[in-house]
A and B are shown apart, each in its own frame.
Chain A
Amino acid sequence: MSITLDRPPRGTAHQSAPSPPPWWRGRKAQGWAYAAPTALIVGVLFVVPLILVVWMSLHRWPLLGPATFNAPDNYTKIADNPLFLDAVVFTLKYTVIITVLLSAVALGLALLVQERRPGVGFFRTAFFLPGAVGFAAAALLFYGMLNNEFGPIDPLLQSLGITDEPVKWIGTPDAALFSTIALVLWRFAGFNMLILLTGLQAIPVEVYEAARSDGANRWQIFTKITMPLLRPTIALMLILSVTGSLLAFDQFFIFTNGGPDNSTVSMVMVVYREAFFRFDLGGAAAISVVLLVALVALNVLQMRVLRRSR
């Protein structure tokens, strides 16, 4: 016995809905179409400028007038730039210090406000609030607060008997570095606290209850439960912190102006100087490319190490 199905006659309602064009039928094509707007934005705002910067780094590029090909001069002369070499050392030192301190402070704050208690909302808001201040504005704020002539901090410390004379907050290399670190901690500890708080709250309560019923004390819970389960969140925070610190600019440009005696010049400040004080756009582009390559390599290394240790 066989069953035959009649074809629907032409012009029926079934055919009145237009079928999608052939190029749209495959899932691949649809995927491309959905991704296109984002791809366009990434292409225009990131890939194209990146290609242009690489192209620029291969040329002598005057402010006005035609560029002339001079590769690899812009790259080879980086090694002769003592300011850049000093800036590399300083930026790495700053990155290590700020990453360690920022992680510790942010974790401490997150643990403090982790549990729901009366008043905890106030503290969460208070810790996060500096993050709402623009970074350049925060740097200017610290410059004003710590200024020896008109800042309020010195008179306050002296009236409390803590100091006898104005403290030179940015007068020596170490003082300038640690004043800047204080600024960055104030500005970013709350933001990093928020990242860690999301990680902490994603840890199931049952895991803690199980640990407690097994007799684990607070320290054991912290080291054996909290930290291992918080690792992905810590990884994210570390990547953000290391990347941001290696690209530090605003805080040193505005707050210390690279001083005293060029002791707080970051790598991006050197790029800025080459481009806008020395008008060597090709040289600045070459340093940017080197910085980018180093940063990508470091991020890849960081991700591998953190994934491996899971």
Chain B
Amino acid sequence: MTPRSPRRRLAGVALFALAAVTACGGAEQQTARPAEQGVTITMWTRAATQAQSERLVAAYNKSHKNQVKLTVIPTDNYQPRIAAAAGARQLPDVFAADVIFVPNYTSQGLFLDVTDRVAALPFKDSLAPSHMKLGTRDGRFYTLPHTLDLSVWFWNKDLYEKAGLDPEKGPTTLKEFAEQATTVDEKLGKDGKVHGTFFGGNCGGCYVFTFWPSVWAAGGQVMNPEGTASFNDRAPMTDVFKVYRDLYAKGVTGPTAKEEQGPTWTGFFPKGEIGVMPMPSTTLGSMPKDMKIGVAPIAGPDGGESTFVGGDSIGISATSEHADAAWEFLAWTVSDEAQVEVMAKNKDVLARTDLAGNKYSSEDPRVVLINSLVAKGQTPYAPRFGETFNDPQGPWLRLAREAVFGDAGKLPQRNAEIDKSLQQ
């Protein structure tokens, strides 16, 4: 029971939404003009990419007359906050969003059309292709790449050495991944502290981020190009599910993999408890300094390589009154200066493919590898992505858990539920 009625809270939100919404034209094209000076624009970002956003904003504020006021919102609450703010016409001037939610946001008219502004950028053809694709609707551009977060395999070289594996040789196929994880678990996991691998087994977003690259690496697809039909009940997806199902059944994964809802799924590897597992590339810079980590592209069951090109895109909100000042900031974030001196310097993946070989990234071959995957990886497109694949109550999580922990025979039925959700 709850003394604070959620119904009243919802009614309050509804009030804001209704009181504030008036007839509006949504996102309209605005042509570029010289930015006003001395303006403070507001920006929202989610906690998952907080570090990168904070660095960019700090560098921009230091070198520009216009200022950006950044608000960081917990990742799990970000989408609801955007929805509530949009309903109340209280969106910030610019906001970043998980790139996979961008098609839904553009279809709702939340972003300003920036086609002409993007066309004027001299490096427009080098902007991360997956992010640009998802920010395009009916041939018009609405967003720029903001941060890139790729899924890759991390392996712990110390644990590999102790388990008798070659510490310099990571997995090149999903089957090798399973074999190496099993070896680590068998050799070092007897006291229950070290495990072969780990994954977020009760987290829809974790599954797509870590499992789907194996499907792409095997030459398969997870959806049709329109994002309205799911292919997750057939090979190679089912082959990938089987590998992880066997790993869980044999106890090679951490015991709580089945219950992991997402908030702590990346927390075990830095503790030195996991042999090899899929991880977000953005965590490489925050790993313990004395930890020897190898990085490999995610492979399919028999080879190939791919990655989920995740991260955030950023756009000007359709309700912003400072579109020119907002664009000045956005254009700066993808400039040579910001990309090299802010992003590359901190081992982040670049939003531009033409700067992959910069002076900072070339110091660490792992960063070079990650940057090279931007062009090989994919970002799945579906207008109904969030509610289908990320939402804990969405149909994808049920399918994935059925495939890994439950009755794999139910996959066609669960896949039909995904189709229904994608087509709503």
* Chain A residues within CB distance 8 Å of chain B: 46, 48-50, 52-53, 55-56, 61-67, 83, 98, 102, 135, 147-150, 165-166, 168, 170-171, 184, 188, 191, 240-241, 243-245, 247-251, 257-262, 265, 268-273, 275-279, 281, 284-285, 288, 291-292
Is A268's CB under 8 angstroms from B109's CB? Answer: no
B391 within 8 A of A: yes
Question: Nearest CB to that of B108 among chain A residues?
Answer: A63
B12 within 8 A of A: yes
Between A and B, how many residue pairs show CB distances below 8 Å? 158
Chain B 194-222 interface 0/1 with A at a Cβ cutoff of 8 Å (1 = within): 00000000100000000000000000000
Closest 9 A-B residue pairs measured CB to CB? A244-B1, A276-B80, A249-B6, A63-B86, A49-B11, A49-B15, A52-B18, A148-B256, A268-B6
Would you list which residues of chain B between 152 and 168 have a CB under 8 Å from chain A?
A: none
Q: Given the known inter-chain contacts A49-B11, A276-B79, please indicate yes or no for A64 contacting B261, CB distance below 8 A.
A: no
Is B14's CB under 8 angstroms from A52's CB? Answer: yes
Taking CB atoms, residues of chain B closer than 8 Å to A268 are 6-7, 10
Interface size class of B (residues with CB under 8 A): 35 or more
Taking CB atoms, residues of chain A closer than 8 Å to B89 are 64
Q: Which of B20-28, B335-343, B358-366, B372-380 forms part of the interface with chain A?
A: B20-28
Q: Given the known inter-chain contacts A48-B15, A257-B392, A279-B83, please indicate yes or no for A247 contacting B7, CB distance below 8 A.
A: yes
| Distance between Cα atoms of A55 and B391 in the complex (Å) | 28
Question: Nearest CB to that of A288 among chain B residues?
Answer: B10
Is B2's CB under 8 angstroms from A248's CB? Answer: yes
Taking CB atoms, residues of chain B closer than 8 Å to A64 are 21, 24, 26, 86-87, 89, 108-110, 318-319
Taking CB atoms, residues of chain A closer than 8 Å to B386 are 277
Instruction: Specify which of A55, A271, A275 lies most central, judged by the most chain B CB atoms within 10 Å of its CB.
Output: A275
Is A241's CB under 8 angstroms from B261's CB? Answer: no
Is B259's CB under 8 angstroms from A168's CB? Answer: yes
Q: Given the known inter-chain contacts A64-B26, A259-B392, A277-B386, please indicate yes or no for A244 contacting B3, CB distance below 8 A.
A: yes
Q: List 8 A-B contacts (CB under 8 A).
A: A149-B256, A247-B6, A249-B2, A259-B261, A271-B6, A276-B80, A277-B387, A281-B87
Taking CB atoms, residues of chain A closer than 8 Å to B79 are 276-277
Is A98's CB under 8 angstroms from B1's CB? Answer: yes
Is B2's CB under 8 angstroms from A260's CB? Answer: no
Q: Given the known inter-chain contacts A102-B1, A248-B1, A261-B398, please indicate yes or no for A275 contacting B10, CB distance below 8 A.
A: yes
| Distance between Cα atoms of A304 and B319 in the complex (Å) | 51
Is B401's CB under 8 angstroms from A135's CB? Answer: no
| Distance between Cα atoms of A286 and B5 in the complex (Å) | 17
B330 within 8 A of A: no
Is B83's CB under 8 angstroms from A240's CB? Answer: no
A243 to chain B: closest CB distance in Å? 8
| Distance between Cα atoms of A244 and B109 in the complex (Å) | 37
Instruction: Specify which of B89, B255, B393 lies most central, judged by the most chain A CB atoms within 10 Å of its CB.
Output: B393
Chain B 351-363 interface 0/1 with A at a Cβ cutoff of 8 Å (1 = within): 0000000000000
Taking CB atoms, residues of chain A closer than 8 Å to B24 are 64-66
User: Which of B5, B14, B83, B268 lies in contact with A285, CB distance below 8 A?
Assistant: B14
B57 within 8 A of A: no
User: Which of A66, A247, A281 lies in contact with B17, CB distance below 8 A?
Assistant: A281
